[in-house]
Amino acid sequence: MTMTHIAIDLHDDQEAARVLSLLKREHVPYQVHKKEILSEEEKAEAREIVMRGAPTLNVEEMLAWLEESKKDRPMPFRNDE
């Protein structure tokens, strides 16, 4: 037995109502998920933030902390003399 999954993105409420009416009439099971969409301006702003990166990320500091936090654990090749 197989099942076909069809996803349809509708931006018009009247169009969505017509499609849902047809599905109901034909007794087709369905699920409706509403989702917020970003405007082009919001997308550009989000993209800019991502491309800028984290302003407080200090890789050297993070690596130093990581090394310090593992000093009490035996690690291969670290204590070899």
Pair 8, 19: CB distance under 8 Å:
yes
With respect to residue 9, please indicate whether it lies within any of the assigned structural domains: no
Q: Quick one: tokens of 64?
A: 């130093």
Please state whether the predicted TM-score (pTM) of the whole model is above 0.85.
no
With respect to residue 44, please indicate whether it lies within any of the assigned structural domains: yes
Which residues span the domain enclosing 41? Answer: 36-72
With respect to residue 62, please indicate whether it lies within any of the assigned structural domains: yes
With respect to residue 10, please indicate whether it lies within any of the assigned structural domains: no
Residue 71: the pLDDT is 76
Residue 78: the pLDDT is 64
The total domain count for the chain is: 1
Q: Quick one: tokens of 78?
A: 């670290």
DSSP labels for 22-46? HHHHTT------------HHHHHHH
Report d(CA 11, CA 9) in Å as an integer. Answer: 7
Tens digit of each residue's pLDDT, the chain (81 residues): 998 999 999 989 999 999 999 999 999 999 999 988 889 999 999 888 888 876 777 788 888 888 888 777 776 776 655
Q: Is the Cα torsion angle 8, 9, 15, 21 positive or negative in sign? A: positive
Residue 75: the pLDDT is 67
With respect to residue 79, please indicate whether it lies within any of the assigned structural domains: no
